[in-house]
Amino acid sequence: MSKSRATRGSNLDSDRALSLLTMMERIRAFEEQACLAAERDKLVLGAIHPSIGQEAVAAGIMQAVNPDDFLLSTHRGHGHTLAKGAEPLAMMRELLGRAGGCCGGKGGSMHIADFNVGMLGANGVVSANITIAAGAAHSMKLQRDSRVVVCIFGDGAINRGPFLEGLNWAKVFDLPILFVCEDNQYSATTRTSAMTAGDGAAARARALGLVDHTVDGNQVEEVADIATQCINRIRSGGGPEFLHAITYRRTGHTSFDPAAYRPADEAVQHEQRADPINRQRELLTLAGKDKSELDRIHTQAQQEMTDVLQQAAQSPFPDPALALKDVQDIGSPEQELR
Amino acid sequence: MTTLTMVEAIRETLRAEMLRDERVILMGEDVGHLGGVFRATDGLRQQFGAQRVFDTPLAESVIAGSAVGLAISGLIPVFEMQFLGFSQNAFHQICQQIARTRFRTRGSHTCPITIRAPFGGNVRTPELHSDSMEPQYAQGTGLKVVMPSTAYDAKGLLASAIRDPDPVLFLEPLRGYRLVSDDVPDDDYTIEFGKLRVMREGDDITIVTWSASVPVVEQAVEQLVAEGINPHVVDLRTIVPLDEAGLVAAVEKTGRCVVVHESPAAAGFGAEVITLLQEQAFYSLQAPLKRVTAPDAPYPPPGIEGHYIPSSELVVRAVRETLID
């Protein structure tokens, strides 16, 4: 087990730091708009699962990979997808089930995919992406391709069988993959610690022989540093690694969930103490950046995503015939929609 | 032309497809070093190397799940479920991940995956090693379900499966692996999915069957012919896609039909066949449609499996009853 070093203001790469802040602000703004779309505008048919408070994991990990590397994500994957390079308008249309979405409106929030940016799919089933990611990494190895795979899943996933099967597979075949347990401490509405035996995620990975790391998932600089080191080792043939990034889910399980099952002030306290955006702003301020510059990043992100929602909301729904298309190459069912 | 057993035809087709397309890889429990518990991949690791033919952990959900990742990033995985009964451990990955990738991605990506799985009974192996569960997968929309009964069909259908852009569940009747043998052309050929095979022309009654039940029906036909009954017999070959037109024509020809399959009756694929005939061939029917299937019970211990699997005697009796009606 290794710990990443604390990053200090004095040796901060300010370009990278600003870029990380910008991405976190964009993710936050995107999801705030998505929540408004769901709750205020009733435009999301079904649930969305926000990652508000967890943006440092998405931004930090994704700055460490190349545009053509692969990502597999979860039902809480808007941040990962945006940070991987997907267009926010196409993403928002996808969340709203509209034409012009990344998947033509058929994937939705939980099954969003954008192969053009190496995003091989979010997945609505906890831990299902782990086995698929192992296969993608296997493919890279068999084809002697230098791309690496990042597979992000939540803390709930470590209690499902495919976690064991996927990690074991990756180690047995020595694959180029970084597993990231984005630990927001809740499995849907239950505290994960109450449902998890033993020493948790990293210990389980270690037991399978993976190199494991634990990082403060609310410190984007630390996440970015350690992810960069991991990806470099993995790309040069070092085999699979495991990163346990501990963060916190500010919202309920879905945007509609008031999270009444946890102490009333838990989320507020966490926001005051460990909000990843506030922390990054403080770091940049210490490094001499002007508050107005940081505020401008915030305002621009807010404006960008407000426009995105507005445009997405005006996009048409897909042709209903699409519901019966893309089943198999032998053609779509011929009966009419009922 | 060479006479091959079904398992030999499968092995030679795998070999030919791997020679034809270097993206084809084989994986599964014991398929590499051992060559498969039924020898379907015997010698292929030696020929093609460990990069293209490899053993996997005994872990069906990651075998099936990893195939998605392999397929969407450029390879053509052919994986073996050692027994179809084991595939339930990967039911989620097969029906909800593999089968839905094309749909979810608005057709931008497909999963060219072939899942090979031996199934069916009468080989003295207990319970979940003998299960026939094709109807469960027939509802996995996005998945094709292919069920050969001869070595000739096994070769042509498996070649089609591996070349198909979409996922195919290729079910191999365990009992037929070595008992079934027939002439197989040495040259390359494929068989189109959704085209049934007329096994025998006849006028009195239509018998519809597939895969493991084909030899049972063949035995029944001998008896029926000896009694002066002239049955028309079809082998569906693929249940998804289903040859609806061929099926309707086959039954309209005689106005009577018995469906024979080895899985249990309730919600079995015979129910789908009969519903289709009721919808599309109703006015040609002269007698109620009938099924001969396994009973609605788990697969029994080997010593009494003969009482469970539909027998040729039951088929003969069902045909006689249908002709009297």
| B156 and B253 belong to one structural domain | no
Mean pLDDT, range A209-227, rounded to an integer: 98
CB contact under 8 A, B69 and A139: yes
Indicate whether B160 and B241 sit together in one domain.
Answer: no
Same domain, B13 and B155: yes
Give every CB contact of residue A330 below 8 A, 6+ residues apart in sequence.
Answer: B144, B166, B193, B194, B241
Q: Is the same domain home to B108 and B250?
A: no
Shared domain check, B163 and B93: yes
Same domain assignment for residues B211 and B180 = no
Q: Which of B159, B184, B209 is the last residue of a domain?
A: B184
- Taking alpha carbons only, the member of B121, B38, B88 closest to residue B309 is B121
Chain A CB contacts of B193 below 8 Å: 330
Residues B139 and B202 in one domain: no
Beta bridge partners of B184: B2
The pLDDT-based confidence of A332 (bands split at 50, 70, 90) is very low
Q: List Cβ<8 Å contacts ≥24 apart for A256-260.
A: A256/A38, A256/A39, A256/A47, A257/A189, A259/A189
- With H, G, I as helix, E, B as strand and everything else as coil, classify residue B119: strand
B72 contact residues in A (CB cutoff 8 A): 115, 120, 136
Residue A187 tokens, joined: 């499995």
Same domain for B27 and B141:
yes
Q: Are residues B74 and B170 in the same domain?
A: yes
Q: Are residues B11 and B114 in the same domain?
A: yes
Secondary structure tally for chain B: helices H, strands E: 12, 14
> How many CB atoms are located within 10 Å of the residue A156 CB?
22
pLDDT grade for A230, boundaries at 50, 70 and 90: very high
In a domain, B163, yes or no: yes
Chain B residue with the nearest C-alpha to that of A126:
B92
Instruction: Determine phi and psi for A222, rounding to 5 degrees.
Output: -65, -40
- Within a 10 A sphere around the Cβ of B1, how many other Cβ atoms? 9
pLDDT for residue A2 is more than 60: no
User: CA Rg, chain A, in Å?
Assistant: 20
Is some CB atom of chain B closer than 8 A to the CB atom of A330?
A: yes
Integer Rg of chain B from CA: 19
The single-letter DSSP state of residue B307 is G
Q: What pLDDT, on a 0 to 100 scale, did the predictor assign at position A66?
A: 98
Q: Which of these, B232, B241, B239, lies nearest to B284 by C-alpha position?
A: B232
> Are B6 and B104 members of one domain?
yes
Same domain for B213 and B118: no
DSSP E strands, A90-194: 149-154, 177-183, 186-187, 190-191
Cβ distance B65 to A161 less than 8 Å, yes or no, reads no
| Whether the Cβ atoms of residue A186 and residue A247 lie closer than 8 Å to each other | no
Q: Which of chain A's residues have a Cβ under 8 Å away from the Cβ of B107?
A: 325-326
Residue A302 phi, psi dihedral angles, 5° rounding:
-60, -45
Nearest-CA neighbor of B277 among B299, B249, B305, B298? B249
Position B192 in a domain? no
CA dihedral (A78, A81, A87, A93) in degrees, to 10, reads -40
B contacts of A111 (beta carbons < 8 Å): 104
Q: Is B51 in the A-facing interface, judged by CB distances under 8 Å?
A: yes
Nearest CA to CA, how far is A30 from chain B (Å)? Answer: 22
First to last CA, chain A: 57
Option in A138, A165, A326 nearest B106 (CB): A326
Least CB-CB distance to A131: which of B51, B61, B108? B61
Judge whether B167 lies within some domain: yes
Confidence at residue A4, expressed as pLDDT on a 0 to 100 scale: 43
Express the helix, strand and coil content of chain B in percent, nearest 5 each: 40, 20, 35
Q: In a mutagenesis test of the A interface, which of B25, B75, B103 is the best target, namely the one with the most A β-carbons within 10 Å?
A: B103
- Decide if A163 touches B, using CB distance below 8 A: no
B110/A135 CB distance under 8 A: no
Say whether pLDDT at A338 is over 60. Answer: no
Cβ pair B69:A162 closer than 8 A: no
Q: What is the pTM of this model?
A: 0.92
Confidence of residue A253 (pLDDT cuts 50, 70, 90): very high
The answer to whether residues A327 and B141 touch, using CB atoms and an 8 Å cutoff, is yes
Give A325's pLDDT tier (boundaries 50, 70, 90).
confident
Can you give the pLDDT at residue A10?
60
How many beta-carbon pairs under 8 angstroms link A with B?
137
pLDDT for B236 = 98
Q: Using CB atoms, which residue from B61, B97, B104 is nearest to A106?
A: B104
- Residues whose CB falls within 8 Å of the CB of residue A42, separated by 6 or more in sequence, listed in order: none
Residue B67: inside a domain, yes or no?
yes
| Total count of domains within chain B | 2
Residue B232, phi then psi, degrees to nearest 5: -100, 125
d(C-alpha B107, C-alpha B115), whole Å: 21
Per-residue pLDDT tens for A12-53? 999 999 999 999 999 999 999 999 999 999 999 888 999 999
Q: How far apart are CA A170 and CA A314, in angstroms?
A: 44
* Residues of B tagged active-site: 129
> A103 touching B, CB under 8 A?
yes
Shortest CA distance from A136: residue in chain B:
B69
**Cα–Cα distances in Å, from B107 out to A104, A142, A201, B111, B200?**
9, 25, 36, 10, 40
> Which residues, other chains included, contact A55 with Cβ-Cβ below 8 Å and sequence gap of 6+?
A23, A24, A27, A28, A79, A220, A276, A277
Q: Which of B149, B184, B219 is the last residue of a domain?
A: B184
Does B269 fall in a domain? yes
Q: What is the pLDDT of residues B7-66, one digit of tens each?
A: 999 999 999 999 999 999 999 999 999 999 999 999 999 999 999 999 999 999 999 999
Determine how many CB atoms are found less than 10 A away from the CB of residue B46. 12
User: What tokens appear for A132 in the block?
Assistant: 């698929």
Let me know: does A107 contact B105? Beta carbons within 8 Å. yes
Tell me the β-bridge partners of B258.
B207, B290
Q: Examine residue B101 and state whether it is found in any structural domain, yes or no.
A: yes
User: Rounded distance, CA A286 to CA A298, Å?
Assistant: 18
Q: Can you give the pLDDT at residue B13? A: 98
Q: How far is CA A271 from the centre of its chain?
A: 19
What was the pLDDT predicted at B43?
Answer: 98
Which residue ranges form the domains of chain A, and what is each CATH number? 11-313 (3.40.50.970)
In this complex, do A143 and B75 lie within 8 Å of one another by their Cβ atoms? yes
Establish if B189 belongs to a structural domain.
no
Average pLDDT, chain A: 93
Instruction: Walk across the sheet containing B24-28 and list its strands.
Output: B53-55, B24-28, B76-80, B114-119, B168-173, B144-146, B238-240
User: Does the structure show a pLDDT above 70 at A7?
Assistant: no
Structural domain ending residue among the three candidates B160, B184, B208: B184
Per-residue confidence band for A330, with pLDDT thresholds at 50, 70 and 90: low
CATH code (residue B77): 3.40.50.970
What parts of chain B have a pLDDT lower than 50? none
* pLDDT number for residue A320: 87
What residue numbers bound the domain in which B117 lies? 2-184
Cβ–Cβ gap B166/A328 under 8 Å: yes
Please indicate, yes or no, if residue B238 is contained in any of the structural domains: yes
